[in-house]
A and B are shown apart, each in its own frame.
Chain A
Amino acid sequence: MNPIQEVILIVQRELRKNFRSVKGIVLLILSLLGGGAFAVINAILTRLKTREMGDVPEEQFRMIREQGLTKFYDGDADMGKFLSDSPDILWTVSLITIWLTPLLVAVLGYDGVSGEVQHRTVRFWTVRSRRTSYFMGKFFGLWLTVSGVTLVMHLLVWVISTFGGVASAGTVFGWGLRYWMVSIPIAGAWSAIAVLIASQFRTPMVSLLSICIVFFVLFCLKLTGVWFESVPLTCVYPGTLDNFLLNPQMKRFAIGLAIAAGFIVTGAGAGSAIFAKRDV
C-alpha cells in the first residue's frame, strides 16, 4: 500500500470521527447559529438601508466601502477597489472566519495525536501504517474538518444573503466561494502548526495549552510587526495572509500562497519527521 492510500484511509476516518464527535457537532452547530444569525441580521439591515436610504446612489455606498477597505488594508487601493464590489456581509464573514480559524483548529486538533498517544491507541495504527502517513492523515483530517465547518457556515450565509436580497445569487456565490477559498490555505497553515505542537505531547490538555501559547506568541509577533511596520514579521501570523490571498495582483496572491505553503510544509514535514522517530 502506498503512503497516499494510507493517508486517504486515515483522513476518511478522521473526518468521520471529527464530525461525529460531540466537540465537532457542537462547533458545527455554533458556527451555523453564529453564521445564520449574522446573515439574518445583515439581511434585515440591508432591507432597512434600501428602504430608508433608497435615494442615495449605490455608487456612493461603493465609494465609502472602497475608502474603508483601502484604509483597512494599510492603504492598498487595489484591494479596496477590488473588494468594494463584494457584498459587505461576505467580507465580514470572511474576516470572522479568518479570526476564528485558529480557535477552531486548536479546539478540534489539540487531542488528535496526543489523545491517541496518551492512551496508546496510536499503537493500533503504527503497526499498519507508516508513522508519517498517520501524522499526515491527522493533519489533512484536521484541515478538511476546519474547512468543512467554515464551508457550512459560509453556505448558510450565502443562502440567507441570496434570499434576503443582499445581492444576486451569482454575486453572492461567486464572492462567497472566493472568500471561503482564501480561508483554506490559512486553515492549512494553522492546522500544520497545531498538529506539529500537539504531537509533541502525550497529554491533550498540555497540547491545548501549548497550542494556545504558540498562537498567542504569533499574534504578539504580528502586533510587533504592525507596530514596527515590518511586513515579514506580520506574516508569522497566518491570519494576516488574507492581505495577500485576497489581493487582485497575482504576485501578491502568489506570495500569500507561498507563505501558507511554507507553513504547511514546514509544520507538517517537521511534525511527521519528529513523530516518525519518537517512541509511541
Chain B
Amino acid sequence: MEPQESKDVKSEAKPEASLEETKPETKVAKTEAKSEPPPPSSKSDDEPASSNGSATLAAASPRDDVKKKKGVEYAIRATKVVKRFGPKTAVDGVTLKIKAGSVYGLIGPNGAGKTTTFSMLAGFLEPTEGSLEVLGFAPTAVDSLRARIGVLPQDALLPASDKVGEFLTHMARLQNIPADKAEAAVRTVLEEVDGKDWWNLRCGALSHGMAKRVAIAQAFLGEPEVVLLDEPTAGLDPRVAWEIRQVIRARKGRCTLVVSSHNLQELEEICDAAAILDRGRVVASGSINELTASSEEVHVELASAPVGLDALRQVPGVTRVEHQEMDAMGYRVQGDGELVIHFDKKLTNAESVIGQCLWILLQNQVRISGVSKGRGLERRVMELTD
C-alpha cells in the first residue's frame, strides 16, 4: 500500500469507531460494526458489566458454566474506553471486540496505551470513561471471573520470599481449586512451562526467564477461558522467548488469548487478529491477514532490475504491479527495490499469484532475493504509527 493510503487508513480510525471482528473473514472497516447484531450476552443471561458482578457465577454449577461459555460470543468488549492520568490521556476512546477462542494481539509503540488498555481489561485500572466487559462481566467482578481469567501482568514481581510451589498453590486456592487438587493443578502448569523441578525454589532466586515462566504458569492455572499476556517475552533471550512462544502457541484453541507485545513477528505468528494502537487510539484492527494485506498483495524483493512487468500485469487476478525503490517510511529498499503485486482475492489467491509471477520473473532472468505475502505486520505498524 502506498504511504498515502496508509494515512487514509489511519485517519479512518477515529476513537469513537467501533471496530473489528476477529475472524479472518471479517472486515476492518468501522462502518460495519454499526450494523452489528446486539451483544449475545444480555442482562438476563449475564450480569451487566456495570454491576458488581456479585456471586451469581460463583455458585453456578458446571452445567451453568458451560451455558455461560457458549453464551458469550465476545470474550472481551471495550466500548469507547478512556483512561486519563491527570492531564495525560493514556487511552483515548478505544473500542474492541475480541471473539471467544481467538488469539488477539495488542500492538503499538511505547506509550501507545497497550499496557494501560491491558491493565483495564485485567481490572488493575479503572477506566475514566467507557465500559469494559470480560466474559460479560466488569473486569473488577472478581467473584464472577475468578478462575475464568488468567493474567500475566507486565513487570509484576513474584513475591520473593515465597517458594514457587507454595505461591502457585496459594493462587490456585484463591481460584477456588480445592486443596486436594491444587497441587496437581500447579504441577500441571509448571510442567507446561518446563518448570516441574522448581517447586521448592524461592521466587526471588529465579532468573528473569524462569520468573516469566512461573508468572505464565499462574496465568494458565485452572484452564481459564481468557488469558491476558502483557509482553510475555519482553527482556528474554531469543531462546527463552522462542520457548515461551511455544508454550503460548500450545494454548491456542483452549482459551481466548490476548497478547500485548512489541515483538511484531511473534504476534504475526501467534495471533488471529490484532489492534494497532498509537497515542491511545486504535489506528487499525482486524485479522492479521487484513492488517498485513497478505490476501491482497505479494511482495517480491529484487536483486536485479525488474523486467517483464507487463507480463506480470497479465496474470489472472492481478490488478496492479508497482516497482518500489523506497519503502513506506521513505527508506531505500535493499537491492533493486521490490515489486508489489496487488491481486483480487476473489479471483485468485496469494500462492497462485506467487507461483505465476515468479515463473515470469525467472523467465526474464530477474534475480529474486525474497518473496512475502502482504506487507508484514512490522511494516504495517510503521506505516500507521508515528
Contacts and interface: CB of A to CB of B under 8 A. Distances in A.
A188 to B, nearest CB: 25
A13 B171 CA distance: 11
A279 B124 contact: yes
B68 interface: no
Contacts, number: 71
Contacts of B147: 128
B125 interface: yes
A127 B151 contact: yes
* Contact size range, A: 20 to 34
Given A123-B124, A126-B124, A21 B161 contact: yes
Interface residues of B, number: 33
B162 interface: yes
B218 interface: yes
Given A119-B156, A123-B151, A123-B153, A280 B124 contact: yes
A10 B218 CA distance: 17
A114 to B, nearest CB: 14
Contacts of A280: 124-125
Contacts of B166: 16
Interface in A244-279: 277, 279
A34 to B, nearest CB: 25
Given A13-B170, A127-B122, A279-B124, A121 B142 contact: no
Given A1-B143, A1-B176, A280-B124, A127 B161 contact: no
Contacts of A9: 170, 173-174
B123 A127 contact: yes
A21 B162 CA distance: 10
Interface string A126-145: 11111100000000000000
Interface in B149-182: 149-151, 153, 155-159, 161-162, 166, 170-171, 173-176
Interface in A91-150: 116, 119-121, 123-131
Interface string B103-126: 000000000000000010011111
B384 to A, nearest CB: 29
Contacts of A119: 156-157
Contacts of B55: 2
Interface of B: 55, 58, 119, 122-126, 142-143, 145-147, 149-151, 153, 155-159, 161-162, 166, 170-171, 173-176, 215, 218
Given A17-B161, A121-B159, A279-B119, 5 more contacts: A17-B159, A116-B159, A120-B156, A124-B158, A127-B122
26 contacts: A1-B58, A1-B146, A1-B174, A1-B176, A2-B55, A9-B173, A13-B162, A13-B170, A17-B159, A20-B161, A21-B161, A119-B157, A120-B157, A121-B156, A123-B122, A123-B156, A124-B159, A124-B218, A126-B123, A126-B142, A127-B149, A128-B171, A128-B175, A129-B174, A130-B142, A130-B143
